[in-house]
């Protein structure tokens, strides 16, 4: 009632003010016919230059090439999983014929995403499919691996999207990566997990993304572009919470509450990692490296946050650490660690935020490992 009255008064006072000879500017700024609707600022909204959907720097080219490798492994993976297991194997894991078609459709989405990135790079400069090897023997573990690889894809792309010189290309990539985020959620649901136990999807760097996927790529055509990003030594959580175990609480579903959490703050992780200098990736033609000093912390990249925990029982290339607590915005907000988290071994604990996360690369001793918390 009160606001109604207020509006009525304003309507009456408007014309009155004109009669009384108010300055022209104040009446024109209130008039819909003279409002421009185009606030100052913003980038790339003028008619010229017209958008060019091509890489504009080596950074763009190397980032998009990495994305293409990522799209191709996903395309291969989804089709491989469907071919490797029988319809009955899927049914036994609670994945119906219609769910199987959804996985097939996600493979078709990857064909489209690979086509898009190929067009941006130009077919002459675009890499093609490789051969791959996967660490699963069961439907549940296929779903678990697919959930991890789609998380790596979305977080890797989120990490560089806002840094691309070609903002036009970023606009197209955004439209494919948001679809990939839906795939990540579908795989969580097929694994019977809470579909999105976080408020924010974390970003990682290109080198973290490449370090994680390269070991699963066995060989690539000679005509492919070489990946320019770094391969960090591998990190292994030897006692991970295992989300793929099938129980009556982890049958595929839109969502599940678990009676016992997968892991909680204080859970002790046992970690082992490789030394640098190992041949990995396509044709074993990449070599792992690090510019970091001695291992000092575990870094946890999750939600908006990079959190560090102390390494205990440090002995050569092994140590233990504990899953941290903490909430994204303080008490009674989302826990920082829930869902699929990136864990790395680092030599220092610099304060980094999502837009300057690449400053962490020089401190990485090993990783990332993917840790399914919850
Ligand atoms: C291929 O990439 C190079 C730079 O790496 C660029 O100069 C060239 O124009 C690209 N070719 C096409 C057809 O876009
Ligand atoms: C992929 O593997 C097949 C079968 O081993 C082999 O014939 C082919 O050369 C490989 N292709 C590439 C690009 O590595
Ligand atoms: C990798 O190995 C495959 C299979 O032997 C071969 O066809 C391909 O040319 C090799 N790729 C590179 C980049 O050497
Ligand atoms: C990780 O550690 C476990 C337990 O020791 C071992 O079985 C597994 O092979 C290791 N994985 C890798 C990739 O090193
Ligand atoms: C984890 O590490 C602790 C301490 O070193 C050890 O006692 C325990 O057996 C390890 N657990 C596993 C599953 O490797
Ligand atoms: C989870 O356990 C299954 C056996 O139930 C095993 O095949 C799989 O490798 C385990 N996954 C992880 C991530 O340790
Ligand atoms: C799952 O089974 C256990 C016993 O095996 C039972 O206690 C529990 O209530 C069941 N949970 C659900 C969600 O059905
Ligand atoms: C699911 O878990 C939430 C959070 O712990 C709780 O508030 C809610 O009551 C649970 N719902 C059911 C149906 O178990
Ligand atoms: C997580 O990041 C947000 C945003 O930068 C910050 O406000 C918050 O304090 C951080 N939370 C923790 C537990 O570090
Ligand atoms: C958060 O919770 C802790 C423990 O209950 C309490 O000591 C602290 O004052 C709370 N912080 C804020 C900002 O409310
Ligand atoms: C990263 O950015 C934050 C501001 O968001 C800044 O406080 C921090 O010092 C930066 N980190 C480094 C290592 O420069
Ligand atoms: C993670 O999220 C799930 C789903 O909301 C919740 O049941 C679980 O308690 C959370 N775990 C932690 C450690 O907060």
217 Cβ closer than 6 Å to some ligand 2 atom: no
Instruction: Report the nearest-CA residue for atom 4 of ligand 2.
Output: 131
Atom number in ligand 5 closest to CA 268: 1
**How is residue 151 written in tokens?**
């998380």
pLDDT of residue 33: 60
Helices H / strands E in the chain, number of each: 8, 12
> Closest Cα to atom 10, ligand 5: which residue?
270
Rounded to the nearest angstrom, the distance between the alpha carbon of 224 and the centre of ligand 1 is 14
Contacts of 286 (CB under 8 A, 6+ apart): 214, 227, 231, 279, 280
Q: Which ligand is nearest to the CA of 332?
A: 10
* Ligand nearest to the Cα of 283, by number: 3
DSSP 96-146: -HHHHHHHHHHHHHHHHHHHHHHHHH-GGG-----EE--S-SSHHHHHHHH
For residue 25, the model assigns a pLDDT of 41
Q: Which class for 128: exposed (0-12), middle (13-18), buried (19 or more C-beta within 10 A)?
A: middle
- State the distance from the centre of ligand 8 to the C-alpha of 285, rounded, in angstroms: 50
What SS3 class is residue 178? helix
**Residues 126/55, Cβ–Cβ less than 8 Å:** no
Q: Residue 304 half-sphere exposure, CB side, CA atoms within 13 Å?
A: 8
CA 172 / ligand 6 centre spacing (Å): 36
- Domains of the chain from N-terminus onward: 58-219 (1.20.1260.10), 235-372 (no CATH)
The rounded average pLDDT for each run of 10 residues, N- to C-terminus, in the chain (374 residues) is: 37 36 42 74 92 98 98 98 98 98 98 98 97 98 98 98 98 98 98 97 98 98 98 98 93 94 96 98 98 98 98 98 97 97 98 98 98 94
* pTM greater than the 0.75 cutoff: yes
- Give the ligand at the shortest distance from the Cα of 238: 4
Query: Is the distance from the beta carbon of residue 236 to the nearest atom of ligand 4 less than 6 Å?
Result: yes
β-strand 235-237 against 286-287: which pairing, if any? unpaired
What is the rounded CA–CA span in Å between residue 264 and residue 241?
10
- In b/e form, how buried is each residue of 233-253, taking b as 16+ CB within 10 angstroms? bbbbbeebbebbebeeebebe
């Amino acid at each position: 009632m009160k606001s109604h009255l207020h509006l009525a008064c304003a309507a009456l006072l408007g014309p009155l003010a004109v009669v009384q000879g108010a300055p022209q500017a104040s009446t024109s700024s209130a008039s819909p016919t003279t409002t421009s609707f185009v606030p100052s600022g913003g980038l790339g909204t003028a008619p010229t230059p017209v958008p060019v959907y091509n890489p504009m720097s080596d950074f763009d080219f190397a980032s998009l090439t990495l994305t293409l490798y990522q799209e191709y492994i996903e395309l291969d993976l989804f089709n491989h999983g469907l071919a490797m297991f029988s319809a009955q194997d899927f049914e036994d894991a609670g994945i119906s014929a219609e769910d199987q078609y959804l996985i097939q459709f996600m493979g078709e989405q990857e064909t489209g995403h690979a086509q898009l990135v190929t067009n941006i790079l130009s077919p002459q400069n675009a890499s093609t499919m490789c051969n791959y090897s996967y660490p699963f023997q069961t439907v549940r573990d296929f779903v678990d691996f697919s959930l991890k690889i789609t998380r790596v894809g979305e977080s890797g792309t989120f990490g560089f999207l806002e840094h691309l010189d070609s903002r036009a290309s970023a606009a197209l990539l955004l439209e494919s990566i948001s679809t990939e985020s839906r795939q990540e959620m579908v795989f969580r649901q097929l694994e019977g997990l809470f579909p999105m136990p976080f408020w924010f999807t974390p970003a990682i760097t290109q080198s973290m993304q490449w370090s994680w996927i390269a070991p699963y790529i066995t060989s690539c055509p000679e005509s492919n572009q070489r990946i320019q990003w770094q391969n960090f030594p591998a990190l292994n959580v030897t006692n991970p919470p295992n989300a793929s175990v099938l129980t009556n609480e982890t049958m595929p579903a839109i969502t599940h509450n678990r009676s016992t959490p997968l892991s909680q703050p204080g859970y002790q992780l046992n970690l082992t990692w490789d030394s640098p200098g190992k041949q990995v990736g396509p044709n074993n033609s990449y070599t792992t490296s690090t510019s970091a000093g001695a291992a000092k912390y575990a870094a946890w990249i999750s939600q908006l946050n990079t959190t560090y925990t102390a390494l205990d029982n440090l002995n050569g290339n092994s140590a233990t650490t504990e899953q941290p607590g903490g909430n994204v915005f303080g008490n009674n907000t989302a826990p920082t660690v829930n869902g699929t988290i990136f864990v790395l071994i680092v030599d220092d604990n610099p304060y980094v935020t999502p837009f300057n996360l690449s400053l962490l690369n020089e401190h990485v001793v090993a990783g990332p490992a993917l840790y399914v918390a919850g």
